[in-house]
Amino acid sequence: MKEVKGLNTVLGAAGLAAFLALGEAVPRLGLVKADYFPPTSRIARALGTELADKAFWSALGDTLTGWAVGLAVAVGAGIVAGVVISVVPHLREATASTIEFLRPIPSVALIPLAILLYGTELRSVLLLVVYASFWQVLIQVMYGVQDVDPVAEETARSYGLGTWARVRHVLWPTALPYVMTGVRLAAAVALILTITAELVIGAPGLGQQIAVAQASQAVPDMYALIVVTGLLGLVINVGARSVERRALAWHQSVRGEVAV
Amino acid sequence: MRRLLAGLATGTFLLATAACGSSGSSSSTSPSSGGTTTVKVGIIPIVDVAPLYLGQKEGFFSKRGLKLSMTLAQGGAAIVPGVTSGQFQFGFSNMTSLMIAQSSNVPVQAIANGVASTGVAGKDFGGLVVKKGSSITSPKQLEGKKVAVNTLKNINETAVRESVRKAGGDPDKVQFVELAFDQMPAALDKGQIDAAMAVEPALATMKLQGATEIASPLVDVAENLTVAMYFTSTSYAQKNPGVVTKFQAAVAESLSYADAHPDEVRQIVTTYTKTPADVLAKVTLPKWPAEANRSSIETLEKLSEQDGLFKTAPDLDKLLP
């Protein structure tokens, strides 16, 4: 297991190095103009300048705030709504068509509404982030609840467990792996929407910095900031996976991985 | 872990309800502290708004009890709805957009001058450029060619059409395409477009790459054209005439100061944009007269009407200060 993991890390690093080398070579060979797609080294230098800039760090803070608050609201609301919809009789059937209608609406289509309601503040970012990531959690929770073993459910009933106790001891452990998948998906979607909202609406954050760099004809800076958003996504994904592994340490999907 | 998740869920719910509870009250009032009124201004991060930053720095606003909170809005599309819905007290917009808004009964009112063309052909902050080595030397030759403007049916298209008309060409034969300013240099370089109508800093970038300027369309529209103004919503102007008057005076002073101190303008631009130093050095600064030039706006209105931008003619008496 350890060896495989080590090999994976080496392979991952090699892949990244090859990608960076390609980014350096393509403009240098003249395949694309360095003015519009700067080589990796030039982007790295611009990244260095950004890291020394106070405005960058406050933008990063704004982006992370929008992401974290939006994700927390979406996860909280998604879990509660998912459980309630699944537990209350007939509610699932009654809401199914509405959910299927609302879910495919792209969050970015709500940008005009967000501007009208909240201008370019954090709240308009949150509107988009919560709308997009809420469904990821909700749908997973509903699948998870559906997966409850009827025998376990009946057993709990015959032992006289109340609704809350059944939610707590039967439904929740079954749904948790699904919930964690939903949270992981939502974490990525929330980041994408945070950056998009900042970029398009102009709310403070990394997205706005990208827009400013774009408008200023500062091409290397723009790519440097885009690289930062990519790194942020990477960190968030790794973080979400480790949370998932811990929360589900008892679950066979995680235990199985360790046993092999 | 489960307990933690449950706690998290409750916490976020409380947060969500708290956020909802406060949403109605905070938007309409302008927060004031110790006699200072903070006003939000929706702007685009370009050279044109440098006087506001300079004026803020020089204390032209604070000495009148105003504090500006600049909100950068990408492309400006968010500014008009932001001002009419009360998210911003003031906004920056080009004259054509303001006239279109007014003619469709959007309650906006221009209150202070924003930015003007330099009035000098070949030395303006907006220009019509072709690729290095292009055979096109006059706007007349753009018939049947692709010309990029940042927004179709807006001030830059009107201006290019006037340049073509003045050169003896038929503007209806020009094929206009919409392209953001920042994408124009690459598109022109690759030959995806034949000409581009750009403003700074995209204009300087293209000139640095060897592009040739064939016309100054904003100059062709009218002498010393008022290109953009600061505006507010009619309801805010009615309810807060004092704030508006102070803002007007502070903006006028800032404009004059900026016009007289170009070096300070170039310096302050680096604080809110990321324009590279070599480009910024080549940027042609606009003019910042303290007052808007009404006759130039009337000419722009006539041209816009001719090009079919309005359903009904805007009422300039209502729109202008």
Distances in Å between the Cα of A237 and the Cα atoms of A136, A230, A234, A247, B132 are 15, 11, 5, 15, 46
Q: pLDDT band at A256, cuts 50/70/90?
A: low
Distances in Å between the Cα of A204 and the Cα atoms of A62, A121, B9, B54 are 6, 8, 27, 21
> Is residue A27's pLDDT more than 50?
yes
Q: Tell me the chain B residues in contact with residue A221 when contact means C-beta distances shorter than 8 Å.
A: 274
Q: How many helices and strands in chain B, by DSSP H and E?
A: 14, 11
- For residue B152, is it within any domain? yes
The complex's ipTM? Answer: 0.71
Is the Cβ pair A119, B13 closer than 8 Å? no
Q: Tell me the chain B residues in contact with residue A35 when contact means C-beta distances shorter than 8 Å.
A: 185-186, 189, 209
Residues B108 and B140 in one domain: no
pLDDT at residue B148 in the model:
93
> Is residue A160's pLDDT more than 70?
yes
Residue where the block lists tokens 């690729």: B131
Assign a CATH topology to domain A38-259: MetI-like fold (1.10.3720)
- Reference B232, options B52, B45, B61, B86; nearest CA is B86
Maximum separation of any 2 CA atoms in chain B, in Å: 77
Which two structure tokens, joined as six digits, stand for B218? 């904003």
Residues B164 and B229 in one domain: no
Is the Cβ pair B201, A217 closer than 8 Å? yes
Q: Which long-range contacts (CB under 8 A, 24 or more apart) does A240-245 make?
A: A240/A183, A240/A184, A240/A187, A240/A188, A241/A184, A243/A180, A243/A183, A244/A180, A244/A181, A244/A183, A244/A184
Percent of chain A with pLDDT over 70: 95
| Interface size between A and B, measured as CB pairs under 8 A | 122
pLDDT at residue A61 in the model:
95
Q: Tell me the chain B residues in contact with residue A247 when contact means C-beta distances shorter than 8 Å.
A: 1, 5
- For residue B28, is it within any domain? no
Residue at a domain's end among B221, B246, B263: B221
Q: What is the DSSP string of A166-185?
A: HIIIIIHHHHHHHHHHHHHH
Residue at a domain's end among B221, B251, B279: B221
Task: Choose among B2, B82, B274: nearest Cβ to A120.
Answer: B82
Residues B83 and B229 in one domain: yes
Neighbours of B172 (CB within 10 A): 10
Which two structure tokens, joined as six digits, stand for B52? 């506001």
Between A35 and B67, residue with greater pLDDT? B67
- For residue B133, is it within any domain? yes
CA distance A206 to A139: 30
Q: For B122, left (φ over 0), alpha (ψ -120 to 50), or beta?
A: left
CB proximity A218 to B under 8 Å:
yes
Q: Tell me the chain B residues in contact with residue A213 when contact means C-beta distances shorter than 8 Å.
A: 274
CB proximity A186 to B under 8 Å:
no
Q: Is B43 helix (H, G, I), strand (E, B) or coil?
A: strand
Q: What CATH number does the domain containing B198 carry?
A: 3.40.190.10
Domains identified in chain B, total number: 2
CB proximity B16 to A under 8 Å:
yes
Residues B215 and B231 in one domain: no
- For residue B244, is it within any domain? yes
CA distance B62 to B56: 7
Residues B231 and B314 in one domain: yes
Encode pLDDT of A109-147 as tens digits.
888 888 778 877 889 899 999 999 999 999 999 999 888
Residues B275 and B234 in one domain: yes
Residues B234 and B211 in one domain: no
Which two structure tokens, joined as six digits, stand for A94? 């009654």
Residues B68 and B142 in one domain: no
Low-confidence stretches of chain B (pLDDT < 50) are: 1-32
CB proximity A120 to B under 8 Å:
yes
Is the Cβ pair A76, B13 closer than 8 Å? yes
Is the Cβ pair A215, B78 closer than 8 Å? no
Residues B231 and B88 in one domain: yes
Residue at a domain's end among B221, B256, B289: B221
Is the Cβ pair B201, A79 closer than 8 Å? no
Average pLDDT of the segment spanning A55-71? 95
Per the DSSP assignment, residues forming a β-bridge with B148 are B177, B196
Is the Cβ pair B87, A123 closer than 8 Å? no
Encode pLDDT of A182-216 as tens digits.
999 999 999 999 999 998 888 889 999 998 898 88
Is the Cβ pair B279, A172 closer than 8 Å? no
Task: Choose among B16, B72, B78: nearest Cβ to A212.
Answer: B72
> Is residue A255's pLDDT more than 50?
yes
Q: Which residues numbered 263-292 in B keep a CB inside 8 Å of some CB on A?
A: 272-276, 279
- Reference B5, options A165, A244, A81, A76; nearest CA is A76
Residues B184 and B261 in one domain: no
* Domain span holding position B162: 126-221
Whether the CB-CB separation of A167 and A87 falls below 8 Å is answered with yes
Residues B212 and B287 in one domain: no
What are the phi and psi torsion angles at A105 (to 5°)? -65, 120
Residues B193 and B273 in one domain: no
Task: Choose among B72, B85, B274: nearest Cβ to A218.
Answer: B274
CA distance B245 to B92: 17
- For residue B15, is it within any domain? no
Is the Cβ pair B2, A36 closer than 8 Å? no
- Check residue B129 and report its DSSP letter: E
- For residue B85, is it within any domain? yes
Q: Reading across the β-sheet that carries B175-178, which strands appear in turn?
A: B175-178, B146-149, B195-199, B126-130, B212-215
Is the Cβ pair B273, A212 closer than 8 Å? yes
Mean pLDDT of chain A: 88
Whether the CB-CB separation of B111 and B247 falls below 8 Å is answered with yes
Strands B36-43 vs B226-233: parallel, antiparallel or unpaired: unpaired
- Reference B141, options B128, B154, B153; nearest CA is B128
Q: Is B170 helix (H, G, I), strand (E, B) or coil?
A: coil
Closest residue in chain A to residue B4, using alpha carbons only: A247
- For residue B286, is it within any domain? yes
pLDDT at residue A162 in the model:
87
- For residue B214, is it within any domain? yes
